């Protein structure tokens, strides 16, 4: 009985070993096939790397290669997800350096220069001898500085424009207030033309009264003169 149990255990271990070897072989075959297709610039395929991940979901090699394939197809967000997943579980420093380098390239392409700088720094921490990454880091740092300067200039311009708008609004408010005050004064005081007309009417009345009084005096003088002529028996002609 003990012998049968031992044989069963050994047989089970053998089957598990065979299955593990078979899975590893399948993973390697998918990766190799994917690499061949990746190296062929005419045809890009991600299917084999995904099949390799189905066999081994923790295969950082498959994640990294799939990320590269997705990047080549300009599926940058999907590619970044693969790099991030690989970076969380990969232990080999050289592989980590490659992962972070590629992350930096994607961040730089998206003009997220701050994250690109951090990714390149992580790559150099794992492989300080990588001159290409060092060059990319320097370039990303320069682009980040230029970007920040442009943002500062834009903020200053926006502030100046806002100040000018505020000043113009204040001027418009003052002008409106002045107009309202002028209108209020005009409503409280009679128009100058009316006042002038009233003055002219008063002067005309005085002139008319003087004229009437003068006419009456002339009439009286004529009556007196005629009376004297009649009394003297002689009528004189008017001049």
Q: What pLDDT is attached to residue 225?
A: 55
* Global pTM value: 0.56
C-alpha to C-alpha distance for 62 and 54, rounded to whole angstroms: 10
C-alpha to C-alpha distance for 33 and 52, rounded to whole angstroms: 10
Q: What pLDDT is attached to residue 15?
A: 45
Structure tokens at 99: 């992962």
Q: Among 43, 46, 64, 51, which residue's Cα sits nearest to residue 25? A: 51
Query: 10-residue block means of pLDDT along the chain (239 residues)?
Result: 51 47 67 67 74 94 94 93 96 96 95 97 97 96 95 80 81 79 69 51 70 65 52 37
Q: What pLDDT is attached to residue 217?
A: 67
């Amino acid at each position: 009985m003990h012998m049968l149990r031992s044989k069963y255990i050994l047989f089970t271990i053998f089957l598990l070993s065979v299955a593990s070897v078979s899975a590893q072989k399948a993973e390697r075959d998918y990766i190799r096939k994917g690499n061949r297709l990746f190296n062929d610039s005419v045809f890009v395929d991600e299917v084999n790397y995904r099949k390799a991940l189905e066999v081994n979901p923790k295969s950082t090699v498959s994640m990294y290669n799939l990320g590269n394939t997705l990047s080549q197809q300009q599926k940058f967000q999907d590619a970044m997800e693969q790099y991030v997943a690989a970076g969380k579980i990969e232990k080999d420093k050289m592989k980590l350096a490659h992962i972070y380098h590629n992350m930096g390239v994607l961040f730089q392409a998206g003009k997220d220069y701050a994250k690109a700088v951090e990714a390149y720094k992580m790559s150099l921490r794992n492989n300080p001898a990588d001159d290409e990454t060092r060059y990319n880091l320097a370039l990303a740092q320069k682009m980040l500085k230029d970007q920040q300067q442009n943002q500062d200039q834009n903020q200053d311009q926006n502030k100046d424009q806002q100040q000018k708008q505020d000043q113009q609004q204040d001027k418009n408010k003052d002008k409106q207030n002045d107009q309202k005050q002028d209108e209020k004064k005009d409503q409280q005081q009679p128009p100058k033309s009316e006042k002038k007309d009233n003055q002219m009417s008063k002067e005309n009345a005085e002139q008319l009264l003087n004229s009437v009084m003068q006419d009456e005096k002339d009439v009286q003088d004529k009556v007196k003169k005629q009376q004297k002529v009649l009394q003297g028996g002689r009528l004189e002609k008017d001049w």
